[in-house]
A = this chain, B = another copy of it.
Amino acid sequence: MAHFAVGIDLGGTNLKGALVDRSRGIVHQEQIATPAELGPEAVVARIADLARDLASRASDPVVGIGIGSPGAINWERTTVTRPPNFPGWDTVNVAQAIRLQFGRADLPVLVENDANVAGLGSAHYGAGQPFDSFVMVTLGTGVGGSIIYENRIFRGSTGGAGEIGHMTIDYEGPMALSGVPGAIEAYLGQNFLSDYARLYLRNRRDSLVHKMTAPNLTDISPRILHKAAVEGDEAAVEILAWAGHKLGCLMGSVVNLLDIRKFVVGGGVSGAGDYILDTTRKTLPQYVMPALHDGLEIVQETRGNDVALAGAAHLVFQEIGI
């Protein structure tokens, strides 16, 4: 018998949903605009609509709904507090509201931090499958992360574990948005990396990147840097390697603390792939104590948003033990 669950990825712009089969993964996907500006009730109603629609496509009743969400999630995985870019939210019991609207009072509905859900999805349906334990790093607007330990999310004391983007690699370094000096986000967050690239390219007038962007490099992005690197542009290669080096320094600290030696890297910036990660791989062992050098490995998650959707559904499979 097949087991189905619905996985939801709640974003500030788009609301994505998938019908997930326990063994086959995603079997159907949909996406609608998130009505964030209409407030939490409207958002919850659309999630329930989407879930109902997805559930109707399954050959058996779905066993539950899992939701990856921004904002702070409580230990019980029911409430979402102040998600950025969602006006009018304080703390909302999303799980309860969806259960009511969905019309099955006993249905398991679980909410989890979006980075954690991506990690869980990678562990069971993505690049993390070969590893029992790994740390996922998501390079996007910010730098997110999650710890997968023995195939489950490591949640810490209150559910907030995995905030790797705020770990410092230089206590006197540049300040990230969180206010933490030298946090890795201040080097690899998309805007910070672009700022660095603009400075770097001032003295590299020969770089292709100048021709590939608007005047003064205003629309520079990791994607453009990657494109220039592929075309052999030295400056672009150097900038991405600089970012990779910083990531390696950080990962070293993670290995020393956790003795988890596998990393899965995803997110938009990671599209620059090995231009970043080759340097990360060279740097990492320099920041790991010798006794923990064996088996260090960094792989890329190429399934993008799919792992977040599959991971959200997997919250339910794991909770009910199937």
Contacts and interface: CB of A to CB of B under 8 A. Distances in A.
Contact of A257 (B132, B246, B254): B254
Contact of A180 (B167, B171, B252, B254): B252
B172 A170 contact: yes
A157 B171 contact: no
Interface residues of A, number: 47
A295 to B, nearest CB: 8
Given A169-B170, A170-B171, A170-B172, A158 B259 contact: yes
A103 interface: no
B289 A168 contact: no
**Residue of A166, A172, A290 with most partner-chain B CB within 10 A:** A166
Given A286-B179, A286-B181, A289-B178, A258 B166 contact: no
A10 interface: no
Given A145-B257, A161-B259, A180-B287, 8 more contacts: A158-B259, A164-B257, A167-B252, A169-B170, A171-B246, A178-B290, A179-B286, A180-B289
Interface of A: 72, 132-133, 145, 147, 154-172, 178-182, 246, 249, 252-254, 256-261, 286-292
A288 B169 CA distance: 13
23 contacts: A132-B157, A133-B157, A147-B258, A154-B258, A156-B260, A161-B258, A161-B260, A163-B259, A163-B289, A166-B289, A167-B253, A167-B256, A168-B252, A168-B287, A170-B170, A170-B182, A171-B287, A180-B286, A180-B289, A181-B287, A253-B253, A257-B257, A257-B258
Given A170-B171, A178-B289, A180-B288, A256 B157 contact: no
B260 A72 contact: no
Given A287-B180, A290-B178, A292-B163, A259 B168 contact: no
A261 B163 CA distance: 13
Contacts of A72: 291
B180 A147 contact: no
Q: Which of A145, A169, A289 has the most CB of B within 10 A?
A: A289
Nearest to A261: B157
A160 B257 contact: no
A260 B178 CA distance: 18
Contacts of A160: 259, 291-292
Contacts of A154: 258
Contacts of A171: 169-170, 246, 249, 287
Given A159-B259, A260-B157, A288 B166 contact: yes
B259 A157 contact: yes
Which of A168, A172, A286, A291 has the most chain B CB within a 10 Å cutoff? Answer: A168
Contacts of A253: 166-168, 253
A168 B289 CA distance: 11
Contacts of A249: 168, 171
A159 B259 CA distance: 7
